[in-house]
């Protein structure tokens, strides 16, 4: 595999831009940073003030001496849909994508954006017969993704790859454990970020259910926030067991990545309330001369793992 030396990994949310400059040959983190965004520049993952975002990104590149021409980008979570669907077995490639687009347009499950980018993987553990099979569909907005590419390309940089945050969370876990695959089916990989929870149940390496929970925090109270976390974990585990799998399967393990520094032990609190194994992703074994905790930058760093 060919590795470029330095890659700028970018993560955009409505509230901030995070980056990690990684030397992929030595897998060493060279620089990290975060810049807060004013309200209204990005709203629900959509760029509302492109000119201002171009200026902010240019300032980041200059201030932190991010001279590399190569960028990796995390797809905005707000516009990402991961969905299990049942399709005719004979459909493949472009014909399958056309079929899915038509199905979504004609059904009540129509997408919240036009001209979607659609990718598909077969779900080998799903229901299969001669006529139909289960697939997992990944889709996001082409218009929104193009706007991010435009902002980055204004600075004469090339986006060489893009990533989905649920897949990055699983990647972080495997890398932290120095393993190639997790040995449990139906593991829920969970991101706890500011005012957002992203919960994705994987069947081995395939995400089969992904849900996003967004809320506003006015007066932060850790006990109340912990209760919210427990509530959403219990709700999604219940939904997965009783609605998604019709009481045939359960979530076997919860793996959590968070960039929030809780004063209480989140793992112990969840274990007290739920009879399920819980792990927190920590201690990512990457090289760095940066004398700071890298935890809050794990997602951009993981694009280079």
Per-residue confidence (pLDDT) for residue 2, from 0 to 100 = 53
User: What pLDDT band is residue 220 in, cutting at 50, 70 and 90?
Assistant: confident
Do 50 and 84 meet the contact criterion of CB atoms below 8 Å apart?
no
Overall average pLDDT of the 157-169 stretch: 96
Overall average pLDDT of the 146-150 stretch: 98
User: What pLDDT band is residue 3 in, cutting at 50, 70 and 90?
Assistant: low
**CATH code of the region 79-142:** 3.30.1490
Do 189 and 202 meet the contact criterion of CB atoms below 8 Å apart?
yes
Percentage of residues in the chain having pLDDT higher than 70: 97
> In terms of Cα–Cα distance, which of 72, 5, 32 is closest to 288?
32
Per-residue confidence (pLDDT) for residue 304, from 0 to 100 = 96
Name the DSSP class of 124. Answer: T
If you average pLDDT over every residue of the chain, what do you get?
92
Within the chain, which residue ranges are assigned CATH 3.30.420.40?
6-77+145-164, 166-302
**304 CB neighbour count, 10 Å cutoff:** 21
72 Cβ contact partners less than 8 Å away, ≥ 6 residues apart: 7, 8, 9, 10, 159, 160, 161, 162, 163, 303, 304
Nearest-5° Cα angle at 305, 160 to 64 = 65
Which helix or strand (DSSP H or E) is residue 165 part of? Answer: helix 165-177
Do 228 and 236 meet the contact criterion of CB atoms below 8 Å apart?
no
Q: Where are the beta strands (DSSP E) in 145-295?
A: 158-163, 187-193, 196-203, 206-214, 253-258, 277-280, 287-288
Tell me which fold the domain 166-302 belongs to.
Answer: Nucleotidyltransferase; domain 5 (3.30.420)
Per-residue confidence (pLDDT) for residue 91, from 0 to 100 = 94
Overall average pLDDT of the 236-252 stretch: 96
Per-residue confidence (pLDDT) for residue 43, from 0 to 100 = 95
Nearest-5° Cα angle at 227, 226 to 232 = 100
Q: Which two tokens stand for residue 96?
A: 């399958």
Per-residue confidence (pLDDT) for residue 178, from 0 to 100 = 92
Per-residue confidence (pLDDT) for residue 1, from 0 to 100 = 46
Distance CA(192)–CA(257), nearest Å, equals 6
**CATH code of the region 6-77+145-164:** 3.30.420.40
Q: What is the pLDDT of residues 46-95, one digit of tens each?
A: 999 999 999 999 999 999 999 999 999 999 998 899 999 999 999 999 99
Q: What is the pLDDT of residues 116-143, one digit of tens each?
A: 899 999 999 888 888 999 999 999 999 9
Within the chain, which residue ranges are assigned CATH 3.30.1490?
79-142
Reported residue count of the chain is 305
Per-residue confidence (pLDDT) for residue 105, from 0 to 100 = 76
pLDDT of 115 above 50: yes
Overall average pLDDT of the 15-35 stretch: 96
Question: What DSSP line would sit under 34-70, residue for residue?
Answer: EEE--TTSEETTEES-HHHHHHHHHHHHHHTT---SE
**210 CB neighbour count, 10 Å cutoff:** 23
| The overall pTM is greater than 0.75 | yes
């Amino acid at each position: 595999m060919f590795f470029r030396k330095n890659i700028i990994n970018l993560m955009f949310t409505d509230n901030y831009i995070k980056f990690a400059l990684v030397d992929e040959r030595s897998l060493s983190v060279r620089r990290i940073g975060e810049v807060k965004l004013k309200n209204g520049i990005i709203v629900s993952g959509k760029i509302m003030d492109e000119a201002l975002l171009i200026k902010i990104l240019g300032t980041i590149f200059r201030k932190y001496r991010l001279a590399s021409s190569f960028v990796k980008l995390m797809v905005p979570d707000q516009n990402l849909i991961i969905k299990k669907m049942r399709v005719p077995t004979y459909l493949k490639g472009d014909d399958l994508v056309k079929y899915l687009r038509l199905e979504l347009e004609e059904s009540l499950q129509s997408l919240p954006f036009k001209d979607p980018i659609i990718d598909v993987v077969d779900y080998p553990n799903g229901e299969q017969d001669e006529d139909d099979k289960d697939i997992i569909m990944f889709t996001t907005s082409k218009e929104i993704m193009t706007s991010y590419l435009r902002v980055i390309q204004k600075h004469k940089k090339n986006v060489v790859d893009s990533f989905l945050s649920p897949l990055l969370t699983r990647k972080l876990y495997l890398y932290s454990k120095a393993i190639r695959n997790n040995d449990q089916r139906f593991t829920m990989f969970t991101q706890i970020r500011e005012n957002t929870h992203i919960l994705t149940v994987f069947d081995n390496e395939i995400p089969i259910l992904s849900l996003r929970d967004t809320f506003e925090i006015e007066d932060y109270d850790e006990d109340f926030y912990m209760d919210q976390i427990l509530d959403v974990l219990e709700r999604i585990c219940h939904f997965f067991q009783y609605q998604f799998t019709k009481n045939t399967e359960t979530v076997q393990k919860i793996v959590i990545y968070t960039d929030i520094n809780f004063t209480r032990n989140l793992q112990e609190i969840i274990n007290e309330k739920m009879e399920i194994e819980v792990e927190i992703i920590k201690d990512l074994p990457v090289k760095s001369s940066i004398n700071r905790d890298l935890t809050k930058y794990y997602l951009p760093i993981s694009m280079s793992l």
